[in-house]
Amino acid sequence: MARRPGRHPVTVDIHCHFTSKRADDLALPLRPATAEATLAVVSPAERERHRLYIDSLDDRIRGTEKRLAEMDEQGVDVQVVSPGPMQYFYWTEPGMGRTLARMVNDDLAQLCAGHPDRLVPMGTVPLQDAQMAVAELERIAREHGMKAVEVSTNVNGIELSDPRLAPFWAKAEALGLLVLIHPLGFTDGKRLRRHNFNNVIGNPLESAIAVGYLIFDGVLDRHPGLKICVAHGGGFAAHYIGRFDHSWSARTADRGAIAQKPSEYMKRLYFDTVQYDPIEVENLVRHWGADHVLMGTDWPYTMGEPDPVGLLHRCTGLSEAECHKIAGGNAAALLGIKFRSSAKVKTDA
Amino acid sequence: MFYRCALHASDDRRAQALARAAKRTARKSRNLTIDIHCHFMSPRAIEFTRPHAGAASESALRYATPLTRQILIEQNTRVHDAISGTEKRLAEMDKMGVDIQAVSPGPQAYGYFLEPDIGRQASRMVNDDLAELVARHPDRLVAMGTVPLQDTQLAIAEMERCVKEHGMRGIEISSHVNGKELARKELEPFFARAEELGILIFLHPLGTTNAERLSDHYFNNVIANPLEATIAVGHLIMEGVLDRLPKLKICVAHGGGYISHYIGRSDHTFRARADGRQHIKKPPSEYLKRLYFDTVVFDHAQLRHLVARWGADHVIMGTDWPYDMAEPDPVGFVESCKGLTAADKAKIHGLNAAKLLGVRAKKPAAKKPAPRKRRR
């Protein structure tokens, strides 16, 4: 796959973000210092540094001008834009959560409507109330035509497999939406304060916990049609499935609700390429298949992959066909994105 | 599901797996085989620490469902004879095709929560009993001891005693000390002394500090152990301990946990963020590649990854015997892994461990697999 040839495969970024200013303006004055796991355990000075960092992203993450310019630099034709995870707002009262989710979704839909050939929206729902989440899921699918929704790995410490959330999974399956599971730090960040560890370790850990519960509590067993993509290359679980499988095989009394071994459920999931490391991307492809890996960046954060197409180039063990699927083909198929033609997409001549 | 038999089913499965392992091993391996990850328990030390053990000692039981708790308690009863003696141990080693065990205490023996002097006495008891055990079969068993890491000076003294008095080849440690990281300044003299002595540190976690969300499905083992290794090794790298102690030899249990399978994110934060490189000069993977990882990963793709990424010199056969989270067929697991050369397999089966532990064994002629096969 050449970097930017005249005829190139369409490239889709499944993992990149947006934040709504209106929603921040409404929510942030209400947010307790302990609302987010990562911020709850750091000093006020560290919290202030984080606030300044987040503020510094505003002119990229809120709008389209820099977004489109950076997409061109990265060789990304289409962004599937999801809310920055600080905008889940699961910590608010349900009514406020619904208001905020609607605000984020409406602003995101508007952003993408300005560039429908480049930007595809992925919404958020107030998971602190499953009925409201279901209602908002239906609304964004119906009113905004959204094909995907982003969720965190837990809801205020409650696992995604909690029975209270069952209506959400049933509705997501029924609507055929892609669910992007995107963590926001481990709920207990005390030992992960230093070295950005509640992101570096906490995020892939959270995904492993979330996927572990979805598998062992039988959510994936009960909803075989669910389409789930797990951020950051699926986190630890996608790279370390043997211990799940062994536990299931060897500890038969403790198998929980599932009929098949955990890897049988894991292989239905999708994983992004936010790994920074060609070996780890290739491991995903070899283990779960090229059909299950989607190009992503985590734009515009410091933990974003600056060169998502280049990363695929560095995966020397992948065939061209595999690269094309990963670069955009899989995302297009999952989300029903219809490209006019790659020639329409701006190239950096 | 027949719950009546469920708890015994794992026993049967284990016996069956061992039998299958024996057949495969007899057929396939003529390499020297050393198990780097297998355990011992001193009944005397358990009795000694019992009155001193508060709730803090029972984290494995605290973060568990009633079913998991029941299985753990039954398992401890079931493996008691095997883990504390030599008779079943040698018989199962023979079945698995393991020539030599590098025996370490079951991680419940750490006792870091004990008052330091009590901890010192408990460690001595465990180590003396372990030394006595391996002395019965010096051609089949070597020992790695435990130290009271809650007190750095006591830990150093006990490590020196283990090496000098008992000729031990390594020290097993947990992934944290009562919630404090291994990489903190106060503990560095321990690692510096381990480096000087040239012994192997075997890093073996025991659940995680806050496993409230990991109580179900045995996640406090299945997820928490590879997580803990990641937190511990992450700090040892990022705080510069491995940078300052380049000759320190560390083997990380369970294939190194998550970090050896997922280093890209650490390397990226080193490149992209000032808080990801405060104490180190090179990307985290450059330090990680000095470490050793056992084969307790249960998945050939993961084993291939460990070998391809970190080199066949850095992967060492292990089992986690005699627990239910153990690999029942350690020799066959390596032998049947596609993509490894015969030389890779020989290193992983035993040559790496022999070198690291200073074991001067050849494949014992009496235990060659071929005659055993003929006897069947």
Residue A6 belongs to a domain: no
In a domain, A299, yes or no: yes
Tell me which chain B residues have a C-beta less than 8 angstroms from the C-beta of A200. 234, 265-266, 269, 276
Residue B365, exposed/middle/buried by CB under 10 A (0-12, 13-18, 19+)? exposed
Paired tokens of A157: 């410490």
Residue A314 has pLDDT above 60, yes or no: yes
How far is residue B182's CA from residue B174's CA, in Å, rounded to a whole number?
9
Mean pLDDT throughout A239-265?
A: 93
Q: B269–A196: do the CB atoms touch at under 8 Å? A: yes
Sequence-separated (6 or more) residues with CB below 8 Å from residue B4: none
Measured between alpha carbons, how far is B75 from B89 in angstroms, rounded to an integer?
Answer: 16
Report the distance separating Cα A182 and Cα A197, nearest Å: 16
- Tokens for B217, please give them: 């499905």
Average pLDDT, chain A: 93
CA distance B189 to chain A (A): 22
Q: Are A276 and B265 in contact (CB under 8 A)?
A: yes
Take residue B160 and report the two structure tokens written for it: 């020196």
Domain count, chain A: 1
Q: Does B218 touch chain A (CB under 8 A)?
A: yes
pLDDT at A5: 41
**Alpha-carbon distance B263 to A275, whole Å?**
9
Contact A199 B269 (CB under 8 A): yes
User: Which chain B residues contact residue A236 at CB under 8 A?
Assistant: 223, 226-227, 230, 258, 261-262
Q: What is the pLDDT of residues A286-310, one digit of tens each?
A: 999 999 999 999 999 999 999 999 9
Contacts of B135 (CB under 8 A, 6+ apart): none
Q: What is the pLDDT of residue A107?
A: 98
Q: Nearest chain B residue to A301 by CA: give it.
A: B272
Interchain CB distance below 8 Å, B235 and A201 = no
pLDDT at position B29: 66
CA dihedral A155, A97, A57, A116 (to 10 degrees): 100
Q: What are the structure tokens assigned to A207, written together? A: 């995904």
**pLDDT for A346:** 36
* ipTM attached to this prediction: 0.94
Interval B352-368: pLDDT, tens: 999 999 998 766 544 44
Q: What is the pLDDT of residues B168-183, one digit of tens each?
A: 999 999 999 999 999 9
Of A245, A254, A256, the CB nearest to B71: A254
Banded model confidence at residue A343, pLDDT cuts 50, 70, 90:
very low
Q: What is the largest CA-CA distance in chain A?
A: 62
Residue A338 confidence (pLDDT): 79
Q: Which domain holds residue A28?
A: 12-347
In a domain, A7, yes or no: no
Tell me which residues of chain B have a pLDDT lower than 70. Answer: 1-29, 54-59, 362-376
Is residue A203 a part of any domain in this protein? yes
Does A107 map to a domain? yes
